[in-house]
Amino acid sequence: MKEFKLFTPEKVGSVEMENRVVMSPMTRCRAIGNVPNELMAEYYKQRSGAGLIITEGTSPSPNGLGYARIPGIYSKQQVEGWEKITCSTRRWWENICSAYAYRKDKPSPQHARRGADTYTFGCKSCRTDVDRF
C-alpha cells in the first residue's frame, strides 16, 4: 500500500512542520477597530493542527488599510491581540505566520484615515482627503 505523506513531518527552510497541511490566508474581516480579538484567537486555535498557518492579510501600517475590520500589526494594542492569537495555537509561533496585506490603490473614503498617505503598487503617493467625499 502506498504511504501518504500529508501527515508526515516536513522541514521547509527553518520551519519544522508536524505535517504538510498548510492553511492559506483568508480574508475574514473580524478585527473590530482593526485589532485582533478573542473571536480570531478561537478561529486560529481551532485550526492549530495544521503544519503551518498563514494568517489573514494584516496591515503593517494605518496607510495600508483597504477595507473595514482587517487586522493591523502597527500599534501596541494590535501586537497584544496577535500575541493572544499566537499563544492560543498549540505550538505558538512555531506554526503561525502573518500575511502582510497592503492596499495597492487608493482606498475607499469610508476606510481611509484622515490625511493618510497611501501608496500605489509603483510607490506613487496619493493624498487621501476624506472630507472631499
Q: How far is CA 17 from CA 10, 57, 82, 105, 112, in A?
A: 5, 22, 21, 35, 38
User: pLDDT tens, 5-63?
Assistant: 999 999 988 888 999 999 998 888 999 999 999 999 999 989 888 999 999 989 888 87
Burial class (CB in 10 A: 0-12, 13-18, 19+), 50: buried
- Residue 27: its pLDDT value, please? 83
Of the listed ranges 6-10, 20-24, 112-116, 128-132, the one predicted with least confidence? 128-132
- Residue 36: its pLDDT value, please? 96
Average pLDDT, the chain: 78
- Residue 131: its pLDDT value, please? 34
- Residue 114: its pLDDT value, please? 62
